[in-house]
């Protein structure tokens, strides 16, 4: 794969209230691509190559024949994003908590990595991590 054309990722998540979800993630500093957003979906921009498609549950259901998981009750995935520093980890999680998220686990400090996480308005789990070295060093 050419570095001039990096691979992109589109994480798709079902949400109950699209406007509340947009407001929540905007409070964390994320923007949305209007070209890929409408009443059924919001395309949240994480970086130039990472996007999260926030899809209202009935619309999300059109992409799968399997029943949707209720992330408030079960865990299917934990989305982990890197952060530039420990302070940036704390700032983003603190913004999430102030916007209505919960913090299901306490911060973890492994020496080489510091991470905290939050559950968003729909219960989806997000980990924010700063890596400072490698395990065992």
Sorted by where each begins, the domain ranges of the chain are: 1-62, 70-137
What would the pLDDT profile of 11-47 be if each residue is shown by its tens digit?
Answer: 999 999 999 999 999 999 999 999 999 999 999 999 9
Return the C-alpha torsion angle 99, 123, 64, 34, nearest 10.
10
When pLDDT is cut at 50, 70 and 90, the band that residue 5 belongs to is confident
What would the pLDDT profile of 88-99 be if each residue is shown by its tens digit?
Answer: 999 999 999 999
| pLDDT score, position 134 | 65
Q: Beta strand 31-33 with 41-45: parallel, antiparallel or unpaired?
A: antiparallel
Contact partners, residue 67, CB within 8 Å, separation at least 6: none
Q: How far apart are CA 52 and CA 96, in angstroms?
A: 16
Alpha helices in 48-123 (DSSP H): 57-61, 86-98
| pLDDT score, position 1 | 47
What would the pLDDT profile of 35-85 be if each residue is shown by its tens digit?
Answer: 999 999 999 999 999 999 999 999 999 999 999 999 999 998 999 999 999
* Residue 43: DSSP 8-state: E
When pLDDT is cut at 50, 70 and 90, the band that residue 135 belongs to is low
In this structure, whether the domain defined by 1-62 belongs to CATH 3.10.20.30 is answered with no
Q: How far apart are CA 55 and CA 37, in angstroms?
A: 9
Predicted model pTM: 0.89
| pLDDT score, position 38 | 97
Q: Which residue has the higher pLDDT, 6 or 65?
A: 65
Q: Beta strand 113-119 with 108-109: parallel, antiparallel or unpaired?
A: antiparallel
* Phi, psi for residue 67 in degrees, rounded to 5: -65, 150
Spatial contact of 91 and 118, defined as CB atoms under 8 Å apart: no
Q: Say yes or no: do domains 1-62 and 70-137 share a fold.
A: yes
CATH code of the domain occupying 70-137: 3.10.180.10
């Amino acid at each position: 794969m050419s570095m001039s054309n990096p691979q992109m990722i589109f994480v798709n998540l079902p949400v109950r209230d699209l406007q509340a979800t947009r407001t929540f993630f905007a409070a964390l500093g994320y923007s949305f691509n209007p070209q890929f957003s409408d009443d059924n979906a919001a395309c949240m921009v994480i970086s130039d190559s990472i996007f999260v498609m926030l899809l209202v549950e009935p619309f999300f259901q059109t992409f799968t024949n399997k029943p949707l998981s209720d992330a408030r009750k079960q865990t299917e995935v934990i989305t982990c994003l890197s952060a530039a520093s420990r302070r940036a980890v704390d700032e983003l999680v603190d913004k999430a908590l102030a916007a209505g998220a919960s913090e299901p686990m306490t911060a973890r400090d492994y020496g080489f990595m510091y991470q905290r996480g939050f559950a968003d308005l729909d219960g989806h789990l997000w980990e924010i991590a700063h890596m400072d070295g490698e395990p065992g060093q």
